[in-house]
Amino acid sequence: MDFINQFLTEANQIIAGLDKTQIEKMVDFLAQTRANHGRLFILGVGGSAANASHAVNDFRKIVGIEAYAPTDNVSELTARTNDEGWATIFAKWLEVSRLKANDLLLVLSVGGGNLEKNVSPNLVSALQYAKEVGAKILGIVGRDGGFTAKVADACVIIPTPNPENTTPHAEAFQAVVWHLLVSHPKLKVAQTKWESVR
């Protein structure tokens, strides 16, 4: 029971420490992107890639914003990794998708990308490309937020009450934050199933 109590206590501390101002900024960027007929591209690797796929569904179905995750196309992802290298897979995907200034990038990541430590260089490359074309950047990241936190227009950094549980908390709270976003009255345009069943 000690670990269970500790883990749940940490989760409470994370909720209390979330930056609500950054979340509100994210809501506004998403609403503006939808109003301008921009698209949302959600990037993540590992567990965050699975979260990106789920989030794409929610932003499309509940929020009514055109959204995509490059990792949903495993054939292109592995072809690019094999032929061009891991570091450029997202940037090249965004280039072919003709990323524009009225589009929005959302990065889900534990570390946010760090070239010096060679962690998620593909996220860094994608973010650099997004800056070049003038697209806005959002992040839901853990630890210090890495490169994402440095360049994002709005970024929620998941607090780290215990470094031993950085990854599970960061990936779990990505889901908490994006579910908050799609449920926000400024964004939600479609009723979710169980809330509509009487």
Indicate which CATH number applies to the domain containing 161.
3.40.50.10490
* pLDDT reported for residue 116: 86
Q: What is the pLDDT of residues 116-137, one digit of tens each?
A: 888 899 999 999 999 999 999 9
Residue 43: which domain range?
2-189
Q: What is the pLDDT of residue 18?
A: 98
Q: Please check whether residue 156 is in contact with residue 23, taking contact to mean a CB–CB distance below 8 angstroms.
A: yes
Q: Is residue 35 part of a domain?
A: yes
Token duo for residue 73: 């196309």
> Which residues, in sequence order, are CB contacts of 81 under 8 Å at separation 6+?
89
pLDDT bucket at 114, cuts 50 / 70 / 90: very high
pTM of the model: 0.95
- Indicate if the pLDDT at residue 198 is higher than 80: no
pLDDT of residue 22: 98
The pLDDT assigned to 195 comes to 82
Q: Is residue 85 part of a domain?
A: yes
In a domain, 195, yes or no: no
Query: Per-residue pLDDT averaged across 105-120, rounded?
Result: 93
Kindly state whether residue 196 falls inside one of the protein's structural domains: no
Residue 162 has pLDDT above 80, yes or no: yes
Report, as an integer, the average pLDDT of 76-81. Answer: 93
Chain CA centroid to CA 69, Å: 10
% pLDDT > 90, the chain: 91
Q: Is 197 contained in some domain?
A: no
| pLDDT grade for 191, boundaries at 50, 70 and 90 | confident
Residue 99 counted as domain residue: yes
Average confidence (pLDDT) over 1-29 = 97
Q: How many domains does the chain have?
A: 1
198: in domain: no
Evaluate whether residue 16 is within a structural domain: yes
Burial class (CB in 10 A: 0-12, 13-18, 19+), 181: buried
The reported pLDDT for the residue numbered 194 is 85
